[in-house]
Amino acid sequence: MRPPLPRSLRGQLTTGLVALLALACVTVGVTTVLALRGFLVGRLDQQLSASAGRFAASLEHEARPDADNRPDTRGQADGTFGARLLSGAPTRAAVVRQATDAPVPLTAHDRSALAALPADGTAHTVHLSALGGYRLNAVSGDDGDVLVTGLPLHPVEETVHRLEAVEAGVFGGALLVTGVVGALWVRLSLRPLRRVTAAADGVAELPLASGEVAMPAPVPVADPRTEVGRVGTALNRMLGHVGNALERRQASEERLRQFAADASHELRTPVANVRGHAELALRHRGPVPGEVRHALERIDAESVRMSRLVDDLLLLARIDAGRALERTPVDLTRLVLDATDDARAAGPGHRWLLDLPETAVTVTGDQHRLHQVIGNLLANARTHTPAGTAVTVRLRAGARTVRLTVADDGPGVPDTLRSEVFGRFVRADHGRSRAAGGTGLGLAIVHAVVTAHGGTAALSSRPGRTAFTVSLPTSRPADGPEEAAAEAYGPPDRDFRPR
């Protein structure tokens, strides 16, 4: 598994800097240690060559009480090892201790190691059980024996270890100081990049999808030739393009809203006149040809439909313009009962079910518009489901929100329409006639009115289960005893069935 790396650019740069310095320190340390060890071992080898096996040669004669026949330890460094091998087996081994020789006990392993030394005058490293590491030099003696002379490696190891400790302390301090100073330097160097990031975060938090948007100020760029400067320049250029595009879009939407409001307002009078004249012509007492009466009836029906379309467009235009709705206590339970009664009368082939709480549910809002929301949801369920479908209207009051759900067991909403079902002029069947289908504004009005009340509208659909859920902020319940409310609204589960 790879070690975890810092996620921020500052952490990665600081870590990379310290890692490169650590690699350089390790390289320098290993090189100097190996060089020093090689130098000191070379000096030992030179001393062994200069001694020419004098101490080992003095071991050829057995030690005697008289001083003339004792091993010559003059000029030998303390710890010098000497051994005499006859026929490949050591006959005697001694080491210099305080200018005198001392016998050295040899194990079987030591004897084998000494017997394996080539008598070529070349130094070799051998570990002796009683003495430790030694550099040994073997030469041939005059009597057909082999003389072995050695110097200890302990002083070399001590010097090398002391150098390693010094380097570890120096390099560790250097890494610590470099890490701290490097982190501060990188932080200072990346300060312009933090400003770029802050500007990008500010743009990401803006509501770019709707409404007028004030773009943040351009990012100050110290040097556009640097990488951070180029990023800041590119961001400023992008912010300029986005700001211009948003201004043009806002102006276009304002013109479109104004046009829709003006057109809807201007169309209301001629549509009302057309409808009035059609109704007046239908009331004529004299004989009217059948074709003319049918034409007048179609004119009256289409004028009614056009009046509703104009009213819907005018409502959406007013909500888009930010006009405030009425804010009065609304008995949402009564609205659900009235809207369900209307839906039962319009769709007697459906089963209309109610699931209401025992007490009245009251919210603060526009009563007429909330009644329109419930009516549109019920009309949508009636229009897009076959006869015999069960439509359940459920109302629940929570601590902070009131939730209204209109669910049916119909075929469900197609996947291609779920993401845009609350859009304007969105129709499930683009090929059906306008007389058979709606205008595509019903759910758009639901979403706009609910949003204007500070609530949300959501859809959950699958084959056999479609539910539109409207959530509205709660308000203080209406005054009055619970018994009176239960008597007025009836039991919570009422089943409206066509008779």
CA dihedral 274→279→280→283, nearest 10 degrees, is 160
pLDDT lower than 70: segments of the chain: 1-7, 52-53, 60-75, 98-99, 207-214, 216, 222-223, 252-253, 256-257, 259-266, 268, 428-439, 475-499
Residue 458 parent element (H or E)? strand 456-462
Q: How much is the pLDDT for 440?
A: 76
CA distance 332 to 359: 11
Structure tokens at 312: 């819907």
Q: Name residue 144's amino acid.
A: G
pLDDT for the residue numbered 467:
93
What is the Cα–Cα distance from 30 to 141, expressed in whole angstroms?
A: 40
Cα–Cα nearest to 79, from 56, 102, 52, 58: 102
The confidence score (pLDDT) of residue 320 equals 72
pLDDT tens, position by position, 435-447 = 445 667 888 889 9
Output the CA torsion 155→159→165→169 (10° steps). Answer: 160
Report strand pairing: 390-397 vs 351-355.
parallel
3-state secondary structure of 134: strand
Residue 74: per-residue pLDDT: 58
Q: What is the pLDDT of residue 63?
A: 42
Q: In this predicted structure, what is the pLDDT of residue 169?
A: 92
Residue 180 to residue 291: CA distance in whole angstroms: 95
Q: How much is the pTM?
A: 0.48
Tell me how many helices (H) and strands (E) the chain has: 12, 14
Q: What is the pLDDT of residue 478?
A: 41
The DSSP element (H or E) to which 340 belongs, if any, is helix 332-346
